[in-house]
Amino acid sequence: MRKIAHVLIVLIAMVVLSGSVYGQDSHEPNDAVGDATEIPFNQTVIGDIYPAGDGDFYKFYLNSPGILQVKLEEVPSDMRTRIDLYGKNFNWITRKDATNAGDTVTLEIDIANPGWYYIGIGDLSGLAHNAEYKFKVLFEPVVDSKEPNDILGDATEITFNQTVRGYIYPAGDGDFYKFYLNSSGILQVKLEEVPSDMRTRIDLYGKNFNWITRKDATNAGDTVTLERDIANPGWYYIGISDLDRLAHNVEYVFKVIFEPVVDSKEPNNILGDATNITFNQTVRGYIFPAKDGDNYKFHVNSSGILQVKLEEVPSDMRTRIDLYGKNFNWITRKDATNAGDTVTLEIDIANPGWYYIGIGDLDGLAHSAEYAFKVLFEPVIDTNEPNTVLGDATNITFNQTVRGYIFPARDGDFYKVNVNSPGILQVKLEEVPSDMRTRIDLYGKNFNWITRKDATNAGDTVTLERDIDQRGWYYIGISDLDGLAHNEEYAFKVLLV
């Protein structure tokens, strides 16, 4: 009976012991990878390195990426242990060697891919041991639901304002995401959380996987924001990585924020794509992205006074207005002195046709606020034009009230009258703009200059008088001594007395 009681005590002790250990070396033969013993995680495994030159192999299945530890708990005092790790193809991956006999060491590695993995336990000196070693395999899953996304072609699609979470895992990993932009606008990739030891890099790529720009954190743990003006709709890609190529089992968190900046007049950043506008129309647009310029066109049916009048402008925009002619020839410009200034370009237009204006920022900045302007035009129509050269002089008669404009600046008007008998020729100004200092020139039939009369003061009405003793054509020129343009008429008569 005492023997039976003793046996029962031993059996109970073995049952209790088997609850805390996986087993003795009853899983031999396992001295080749192909005979590896399957073991579970987080359970103490016991084995023997026996006989000399023996090695034990174990296998386990990983369902996800994560951090793997093979942790020796006990080892014979004369055993200098080697732990080897192999992949699913029995491919050797890495190892950990004890420095001294009796050392308990831990092999730790980041695992990127699920599958079977194998470990080998051996003695570096090839010794046999009649004492057991003990170890555990520990595994901390690091599951990134967006994986695989470590290449651009596998980028995970995300939406704006979505909180996106991911892991930079294993070491050297990088995560890619993609999103579609329907318009131009301001893009922000904003890190909200980052592991304390992660020095983050954010890369931005275009639809052709072309690299555009990046933002790097200065210090580990910094939350940074990449901001970029986007000119064209399409797919865009971002990459998140660690500059030091570390692995992290703590998530990073970011959002992609997009503020559309939609200019309905685009594309109009070159003269050939200028947007057609009308006079007195309030035109709105954006200088976006940086270094953008907007071009507009309108048709002028006559000579007149043109104004391009800024009504609103972003407070940080120092505006330039350029004017071009029908051949895309540059004519003139008006620059704002200070950011936020509303300026007006004004010019006399002599000839009908298409004209073009360009709006830009002198500092090349982008703006998410609109500018607004109007093009105003006051026709100045001289029915006697063209008569700016003697050969095009307008035919008039005596005692006729003749009206005309000195327009544009430095204009001059010519008239001709036929004298059939000798007498005193009078060219008599009846009306004149108040700011016009008039000159009257008289020429003979051979376009030979004869005489002139100049007003002393602006607004003076003067009379040129000359004795004529020869019949024939005579020519009269009217001009402004100061070369000014006028949108008010002058009026005169030619008398022969």
How many C-alpha atoms does 455 have within 13 Å on its Cβ side?
Answer: 25
What are the C-alpha distances in Å from 383 to residues 211, 302, 404? 61, 11, 8
- Domain of 401 in residue numbering reads as 390-496
- Per DSSP, the chain holds a count of helices (H) and strands (E) of 1, 36
Would 350 be classed as within a structural domain? yes
Same domain, 406 and 490: yes
Specify the pLDDT at position 317.
97
Same domain, 224 and 246: yes
Please, are residues 409 and 428 in contact by the beta-carbon 8 Å criterion? no
Final residue of a domain: which of 107, 141, 175? Answer: 141
DSSP string, 30-59: --SGGGPEE--TTSBEEE---STT-EEEEE
Same domain, 368 and 327: yes
Q: Which uninterrupted H or E stretch holds 61?
A: strand 55-62
Please state the φ and ψ torsions of residue 364, each to the nearest 5 degrees.
70, 20
Specify the pLDDT at position 267.
80
User: Distance between CA atoms of 33 and 96, rounded to whole angstroms?
Assistant: 17
Specify the pLDDT at position 467.
95
Please, are residues 266 and 201 in contact by the beta-carbon 8 Å criterion? no
Same domain, 186 and 277: no
Same domain, 160 and 252: yes
Would 278 be classed as within a structural domain? yes
Specify the pLDDT at position 473.
96
Specify the pLDDT at position 25.
57
Q: How far apart are the first and last CA of the chain?
A: 167
Final residue of a domain: which of 332, 353, 379? Answer: 379
Specify the pLDDT at position 71.
97
Specify the pLDDT at position 495.
97
Same domain, 324 and 278: yes
Would 4 be classed as within a structural domain? no
Same domain, 374 and 275: yes
Please, are residues 476 and 417 in contact by the beta-carbon 8 Å criterion? yes
Same domain, 137 and 157: no
Q: In the numeric block, which tokens belong to residue 89?
A: 């193809």
Same domain, 233 and 178: yes
Same domain, 134 and 105: yes
CATH of the domain at 53: 2.60.120.380
Compute mean pLDDT per 10 residues along the chain, 497 residues long, and list them.
42 38 58 93 94 95 91 96 95 96 94 92 94 95 75 93 92 93 94 96 95 96 95 94 93 95 82 94 93 95 95 97 96 97 94 95 94 96 87 95 93 96 96 97 96 97 95 96 94 96
Would 79 be classed as within a structural domain? yes
**Counted domains in the chain:** 4
Would 419 be classed as within a structural domain? yes
Q: Which uninterrupted H or E stretch holds 479?
A: strand 472-480
Specify the pLDDT at position 4.
44
Place of tokens 């204006």: 357
Same domain, 276 and 182: no
Would 304 be classed as within a structural domain? yes
User: Distance between CA atoms of 165 and 175, rounded to whole angstroms?
Assistant: 11
Q: What pTM did the predictor assign?
A: 0.60
Would 126 be classed as within a structural domain? yes
Final residue of a domain: which of 121, 141, 161? Answer: 141
Would 265 be classed as within a structural domain? no
Same domain, 31 and 131: yes
